[in-house]
Amino acid sequence: MLEAINTGHRLLVTPEEIRLWGEARSGLPAIEDRPPNIPGPPILRIVFDQQLLNTGESQYGDRPGGLELVSWDEWVAELEVRNLALKVAIEVPGMLDDRYEFVELDRPRSEIS
């Protein structure tokens, strides 16, 4: 489902549209452990191009476990637990913008149609 949330942006809510958006940009889902001194859940990310080369623990030595590529199903399940969606730019012909941010939904995902 696509929702306009303000000029120039849209909200991706369903697992399928999130996966399709990421794959169209050669993005892969990843989960990054937080350093031991920073509380909170693991960090969700979509990694693109050069970032894929830097996923080894040697690149993220200060983060136990580093950046782990995971399945879209696992990544979206964590997104759903946190009741988050992706805010992305509205597509413009000839441009493929890979910027995104997480947005907390104001109601349960099951109520969004």
pLDDT tens per residue, range 26-78: 999 999 888 888 888 889 999 987 555 555 544 444 444 578 889 999 999 99
Q: Give which of 48, 25, 24, 45 is closest to 33, Cα–Cα.
A: 45
Q: Give which of 16, 71, 75 is closest to 1, Cα–Cα.
A: 16
Is-contact 65 35, C-beta < 8 A? no
113 found inside a domain: no
64 found inside a domain: yes
Q: What is the pLDDT of residue 56?
A: 52
Q: Give which of 53, 101, 105, 54 is closest to 82, Cα–Cα.
A: 105
Q: What is the pLDDT of residue 6?
A: 47
Is-contact 24 96, C-beta < 8 A? yes
Q: What is the mean pLDDT of residues 19-27?
A: 93
Centroid of chain to Cα 49:
15
Task: Give the residue with greater pLDDT, 95 vs 46.
Answer: 46
pTM greater than 0.95 (yes/no): no
Looking at the structure of the chain, the number of domains it has is: 1
10 found inside a domain: yes
